[in-house]
Amino acid sequence: MTLKIHIDDSAPPYEQVRAQISEQARGGVLPVGYRLPTVRGLAESLGLAVNTVAKAYRALETDGVIETRGRNGTFVAAAGSAADREASLAAQAYAERVRRLGLGEEEALAAVRDALRAAYGEG
């Protein structure tokens, strides 16, 4: 696992750690079951505070990318399928909600496009 933290980056260090581990896990660079370094070990190797790495690990666990198995360590979870299921459920809930609100398909899609642009920082 290779992580690079850029101090001059606009993203805070914990977000850089979270994003890089997530990208590597979802891209298969870190396979399911891969044991991640301890919070303390990763913090030390990156020159970050322990709380910074702990915050990234908590976010990754919330996202379903990693799982902590107590004293056994922290591992890459089978996140792809869990993330896909969660996204599908959210999409179904959204579709039902906009239908009840009386929005048409084009209006609903436009709202999603706007939200995605805002979330991903585009346009």
Identify the CA nearest to 53 among candidates 64, 39, 67, 69. Answer: 39
- Residue ranges, the chain, pLDDT below 50: none
Structural tokens at position 91: 């999409």
Question: Residues 90, 101: contact at Cβ < 8 Å?
Answer: no
pLDDT 10s digits, 53-79:
999 999 999 988 999 988 899 999 875
User: pTM, whole model, 2 decimals?
Assistant: 0.65
What is the pLDDT at residue 105?
94
pLDDT in the model for residue 80: 58
Residues in the chain: 123
- Per-residue pLDDT at 8: 84
| Structure-token match 């906009």, residue found | 98
